[in-house]
């Protein structure tokens, strides 16, 4: 009798516990598959998103790269153009003869003009302040024209070039010494 | 010695100035007052006392002083005269005699005057009546005298006109007092052409190109100016009539520079380089090519005509360095003029036709020289005074305007054809270069 009571008591204790356990378990069991489903969907979309993000990032990177490449190209073109325009050729006093250095520079300029067949160029002839200005207008004309003839001989059509003499009117260095004069005896190239 | 035909002179004055003039009898005689071989070795001492007002008011005192001072300055500009200091005069200008019987000539010879100018005037209702006389003090003789009537504002014109009579009486040639000087100034930030009176007064801006504008050149009648301008981005020639505004352009490819009007013909010589070579061409006043004048590979530039228009001087590099040459337009015969120096440019043929002024760069210094057209005896006119360039003869051939850096910035100066009396012509803001002396005005 006492043992039965214990069993009953135990049942009383265990069954609700079981029940509880079961219910808990049941609950747990019931809830888990749902969560799993949600989580996998979330993970899936997250992965998708990440992929997309990654793609976007890569696209952006690619774009950036392209942009940079374009920028670099543009910069290079601008630099080439700037070099073309900034690199003057220099002459000796009262001379329009092309020095070896000037010929090298002119060869590079010819390459550039060949690579850019749509460009036309103004060749400016300049002089230092020595000598009188009318004569220097003529000398500047000869300097511009000897550069033009050299480029013509390298295959640049004359129709793409214009020679303009500025004589001694536009010195780059306003000084009155040989250093300044050497800089001012030049042909300068401007892309139109 | 010749004298002005009085009736012709009067008619001209009446017509062009609106100033009436009467000529007094004067006996010039055959005395050489000014040695034309070198008129500047000994300057003639001349007294120009203040003019005498017939009725004394303050306004008239101003005319008396300013008129006399202006007349003295105008004469002094020629380089022929030494103006005597009025402080040393023995005579009271308002009381002394101004006509022959009353003048005490020994008062003037005592102070060293060889010539005397007297002036007497009256102002009535704003109209000015003025009598001006030139005397030889040693001979006690009237050389030239005139009475002018005009507005008070005509005083400057009247004085210049009488100064011209003085010069004509003493040298047999007209003076330069109706001439003007064109030049280049960069005061606006761009080189533009300006003009001023022969003495630097009354400067006016002629071009407003806002571009490099240089090398003005007058036609023989003074009606046209040609110049080079970068108005269209390159050196082109512009030919402008100052009276009626007509204008023409020469815009060949390359250079269109250094215009020079041919005397007695409405033609110009100029340097063009459309063939690739810098050559001198003959152009009409409308800019059309008449013919090519030089035929030489290399620089040919800066033509300057002989007074008869048959030859021109120019710069050529045909012998390796820039030198002055002369070419006959008909025969094309060329003769070299300069042999000294390695850089001779800017020839300017003298109005008398016998000499050429030019600019020489030698030993780092730029100076003005003069040489006979036969190339003999080059004479240096400027020295030890910075760089000097761009010589331009006055129409009477006695003075040379030029550009000098002696005071730092470029300015226009004037000297006699013998290099004496070098002085600045005018001061404007910026720098002034390229003087070009006009002919005498035909109508003023």
Which chain A residues touch B321 with a CB distance below 8 Å? 94
Q: Pull the structure tokens for residue A70.
A: 């374009």
Per-residue pLDDT at B14 exceeds 70:
no
Domain assignment present for residue B52? The answer is yes
Contact yes or no for A134 and B361 at CB 8 A? no
Which chain A residues touch B228 with a CB distance below 8 Å? 137
Q: Is A67 helix (H, G, I), strand (E, B) or coil?
A: helix
Q: Is A115 helix (H, G, I), strand (E, B) or coil?
A: helix
Domain assignment present for residue B156? The answer is yes
Contact yes or no for B346 and A135 at CB 8 A? yes
Domain assignment present for residue B444? The answer is no
Query: Among B235, B278, B433, whose Cβ lies nearest the Cβ of A142?
Result: B278
Check whether residue B382 and residue B246 sit in a common domain.
yes
Domain assignment present for residue B382? The answer is yes
Residue B281 belongs to what H/E stretch?
Answer: strand B279-284
Check whether residue B190 and residue B111 sit in a common domain.
no
Range of the domain at B150: 6-171
Which chain B residues touch A138 with a CB distance below 8 Å? 255, 257, 271, 273, 278, 299-301
**DSSP class per residue in B344-377:** EEEEEE-TTSSEEEEEEEETTEEEEEEEETTS--
Contact call for residues B44 and B80 (beta carbons, < 8 A): yes
Which chain B residues touch A166 with a CB distance below 8 Å? 212
Contact call for residues B401 and B394 (beta carbons, < 8 A): yes
Query: Among B214, B233, B322, whose Cβ lies nearest the Cβ of A135?
Result: B322
| pLDDT in the model for residue B188 | 96
Residue B128 CA to residue B152 CA, distance in Å, equals: 5
Probe site for chain B from A132, A139, A145 (most B CB atoms < 10 A): A132
Check whether residue B161 and residue B187 sit in a common domain.
no
Per-residue pLDDT at B5 exceeds 50:
no
Kindly list the domain boundaries of chain A, sorted by start residue: 41-86, 89-191
Q: Which of B56, B60, B50, B75 is nearest to B128 (CA)?
A: B60
Whether B256 has its CB under 8 Å from any CB of chain A: the answer is no
Q: Tell me the ipTM for this assembly.
A: 0.89
- Helix (H), strand (E) counts: chain B: 4, 31
Residue A183 CA to residue A153 CA, distance in Å, equals: 26
Residue A179 belongs to what H/E stretch?
Answer: helix A178-184
Contact yes or no for A132 and B235 at CB 8 A? no
Per-residue pLDDT at A6 exceeds 90:
no
How near does any CA of chain B get to the CA of A74, in Å? 29
Residue B227 CA to residue B218 CA, distance in Å, equals: 9
Per-residue pLDDT at A9 exceeds 70:
no
Whether A159 has its CB under 8 Å from any CB of chain B: the answer is no
- pLDDT tier at B4, thresholds 50, 70, 90: very low
Q: What are phi and psi of B279, to 5 degrees?
A: -125, 155
Nearest CA in chain A to B315: A135
| pLDDT in the model for residue B240 | 96
Contact yes or no for B346 and A132 at CB 8 A? yes
Sheet holding A186-191, edge to edge: A89-90, A186-191, A121-126, A161-167
Contact call for residues B348 and B356 (beta carbons, < 8 A): yes
- pLDDT tier at A47, thresholds 50, 70, 90: confident
Which chain A residues touch B343 with a CB distance below 8 Å? 94, 130-131
Residue B358 CA to residue B119 CA, distance in Å, equals: 41
Q: Pull the structure tokens for residue B175.
A: 């003076």
- pLDDT tier at A32, thresholds 50, 70, 90: low
Q: Worst-scoring range by mean pLDDT, B69-83, B122-136, B205-219, B318-332?
A: B122-136
Check whether residue B327 and residue B349 sit in a common domain.
yes
Residue B147 CA to residue B165 CA, distance in Å, equals: 12
pLDDT tens-digit series, residues A90-113: 999 999 999 999 999 999 999 999
Check whether residue B162 and residue B212 sit in a common domain.
no
Check whether residue B104 and residue B214 sit in a common domain.
no
How near does any CA of chain A get to the CA of B79, in Å? 28
Say what angle helices A100-115 and A133-153 make with each other, to 10 degrees. 60
Q: Which of B131, B152, B171 is the last residue of a domain?
A: B171
Q: Which of B326, B325, B363, B323 is nearest to B344 (CA)?
A: B323
Q: What are phi and psi of A55, to 5 degrees?
A: -60, -45
Probe site for chain B from A92, A135, A143 (most B CB atoms < 10 A): A135
Residues 6+ apart with CB under 8 A from A25: none
| pLDDT in the model for residue B32 | 63
- Residue in this structure with the two tokens 């300069």, named with its chain if needed: B338
Contact yes or no for A132 and B389 at CB 8 A? yes
Specify the CATH number for the domain of residue B329.
Answer: 2.120.10.30
- CA B147 to centroid of chain Cα atoms: 26
Query: Which contacts qualify for B204-209: CB closer than 8 Å, 24 or more apart?
Result: B206/B182, B206/B242
Q: Worst-scoring range by mean pLDDT, A20-29, A52-61, B97-106, B122-131?
A: A20-29
How near does any CA of chain B get to the CA of A144, in Å? 10
CB atoms within 10 A of CB B125: 4
Q: Which of B138, B171, B204 is the last residue of a domain?
A: B171
| pLDDT in the model for residue B101 | 82
pLDDT tens-digit series, residues B421-435: 999 999 999 999 999
Contact yes or no for B254 and A138 at CB 8 A? no
Q: Where are the beta strands (DSSP E) in A25-97?
A: 89-90
Domain count, chain B: 2
| pLDDT in the model for residue B12 | 38
Per-residue pLDDT at A27 exceeds 50:
no
Nearest CA in chain B to A167: B235
Q: Which of B252, B308, B254 is nearest to B283 (CA)?
A: B252
What is the mean predicted confidence (pLDDT) over B259-286? 96
Residue B15 CA to residue B5 CA, distance in Å, equals: 16
Whether A95 has its CB under 8 Å from any CB of chain B: the answer is no
CATH topology of domain A89-191: 60s Ribosomal Protein L30; Chain: A; (3.30.1330)
Residue B27 CA to residue B30 CA, distance in Å, equals: 9
Check whether residue B66 and residue B137 sit in a common domain.
yes
Check whether residue B86 and residue B209 sit in a common domain.
no
């Amino acid at each position: 009798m006492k043992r039965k009571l214990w069993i009953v008591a135990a049942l009383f204790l265990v069954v609700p516990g079981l029940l509880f356990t079961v219910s808990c378990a049941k609950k747990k069991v019931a809830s888990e598959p749902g969560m799993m489903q949600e989580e996998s969907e979330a993970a899936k979309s997250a992965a998708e998103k990440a992929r997309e993000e990654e793609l976007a990032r890569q696209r952006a990177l690619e774009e950036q790269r392209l942009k940079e490449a374009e920028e670099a190209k543009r910069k290079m073109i601008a630099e080439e153009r700037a070099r073309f325009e900034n690199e003057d050729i220099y002459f000796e006093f009262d001379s329009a003869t092309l020095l070896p250095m000037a010929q090298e520079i002119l060869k590079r300029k010819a390459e550039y003009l060949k690579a850019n067949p749509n460009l036309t160029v103004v060749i400016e002839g300049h002089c230092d302040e020595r000598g009188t200005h009318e004569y220097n207008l003529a000398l500047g004309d000869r300097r511009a024209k000897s550069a033009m003839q050299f480029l013509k001989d390298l295959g640049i059509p004359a129709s793409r070039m214009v020679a303009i003499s500025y004589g001694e009117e536009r010195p780059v260095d306003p000084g009155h010494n040989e250093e300044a004069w050497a800089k001012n005896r030049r042909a300068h190239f401007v892309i139109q | 010695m010749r004298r002005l035909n009085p009736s012709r002179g009067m008619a001209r004055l009446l017509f062009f100035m609106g100033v009436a003039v009467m000529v007094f009898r004067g006996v010039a005689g055959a005395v050489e007052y000014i040695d034309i071989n070198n008129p500047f070795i000994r300057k003639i001492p001349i007294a120009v006392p203040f003019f005498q007002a017939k009725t004394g008011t303050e306004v008239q005192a101003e005319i008396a002083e300013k008129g006399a001072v202006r007349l003295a300055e105008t004469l002094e500009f020629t380089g022929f005269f030494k103006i005597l200091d009025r402080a040393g005069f023995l005579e009271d200008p308002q009381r002394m005699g101004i006509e022959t019987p009353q003048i005490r000539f020994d008062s003037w010879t005592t102070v060293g005057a060889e010539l005397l100018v007297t002036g007497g005037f009256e102002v009535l209702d704003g109209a000015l009546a003025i009598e001006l006389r030139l005397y030889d003090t040693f001979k006690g003789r009237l050389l030239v005298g005139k009475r002018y009537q005009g507005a008070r504002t005509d005083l400057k014109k009247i004085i210049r006109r009488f100064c011209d009579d003085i010069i004509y009486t003493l040298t047999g040639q007209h003076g330069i007092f109706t001439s003007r000087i064109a030049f280049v100034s960069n005061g606006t930030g761009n080189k533009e052409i300006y003009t001023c009176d022969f003495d630097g007064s009354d400067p006016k801006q002629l071009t407003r190109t806002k571009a490099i504008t240089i090398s003005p050149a007058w036609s023989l009648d003074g009606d046209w100016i040609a110049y080079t301008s970068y108005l269209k981005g390159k050196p082109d020639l512009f030919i402008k009539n100052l009276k009626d505004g007509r204008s023409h352009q020469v815009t060949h490819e390359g250079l269109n520079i250094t215009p020079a009007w041919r005397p007695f013909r409405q033609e110009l010589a100029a340097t063009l380089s459309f063939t690739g070579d810098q050559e001198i061409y003959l152009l009409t006043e409308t800019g059309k090519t008449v013919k090519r004048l030089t035929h030489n590979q290399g620089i040919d530039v800066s033509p300057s005509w002989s007074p008869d228009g048959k030859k021109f001087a120019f710069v050529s590099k045909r012998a390796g360095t820039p030198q002055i040459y002369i070419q006959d337009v008909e025969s094309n015969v060329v003769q070299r003029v300069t042999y000294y120096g390695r850089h001779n440019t800017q020839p300017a043929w003298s109005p008398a036709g016998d000499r050429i002024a030019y600019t020489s760069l030698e030993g780092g210094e730029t100076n003005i020289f003069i040489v006979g057209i036969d190339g003999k005896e080059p004479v240096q006119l400027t020295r030890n005074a910075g760089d000097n360039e761009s010589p331009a003869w006055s129409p009477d051939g006695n003075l040379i305007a030029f550009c000098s850096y002696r005071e730092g910035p470029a300015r226009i100066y004037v000297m006699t054809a013998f290099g004496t009396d070098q002085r600045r012509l005018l001061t404007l803001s910026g720098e002034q270069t390229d003087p070009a002396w006009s002919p005498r005005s035909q109508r003023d």
